[in-house]
Structure 1
Amino acid sequence: MSSVSGSRETSTPLVLPISRSVFWLVGTAVVALLVYYFIGVDQGALSIFGSDMHVHEFVHDGRHFLGFPCH
């Protein structure tokens, strides 16, 4: 049997300054809103990218899986 030594490694928490925390929070919110728009709001006909991009068709099955109404 091998014995385990009594020393323990302690981890220190990651501390971010408030300015960097705000950057990460705003960035995450922007990405979340873009994802929400493309999956939940974009209907193809009123797409901000025009009718030829068809983002709606790309995420169509995901919309139904997540419970968003379609058509």
Structure 2
Amino acid sequence: MDPISTQQPIPVRDLLPALLLMTFLLLAVYLVQFDNGAISQSGSFLHELMHDGRHLLGVPCH
């Protein structure tokens, strides 16, 4: 038998932790790189944290 034809698809419940982690990481990348204060206006600490994160990642912000 061909080994490719005997492979089973991965159940969604086994992929759920990886999908949740990927969603969280994409949200974090958005907040750090593209937010520019739209969400992080609620306080100066969060704004400065995102600003420093941009500099740490080498993303130009000003």
TM-score with structure 2 length normalisation?
0.61
Match of 1:39 among 32, 38, 46: 32
RMSD: 2.1
Residue 28 (structure 1) shift: 1.2
TM-score with structure 1 length normalisation?
0.55
Q: What SS does structure 1 have at the residue aligned with 2:31?
A: helix
Question: 5+ unaligned residues in a row in structure 2: which ranges?
Answer: 1-9
Q: Percent sequence identity over matched residues?
A: 37
Q: Which structure has the larger Rg over C-alpha atoms?
A: 1
Question: 5+ unaligned residues in a row in structure 1: which ranges?
Answer: 1-16
Number of equivalent positions: 52
Q: Which runs of 4+ in 1 moved over 6 A?
A: none
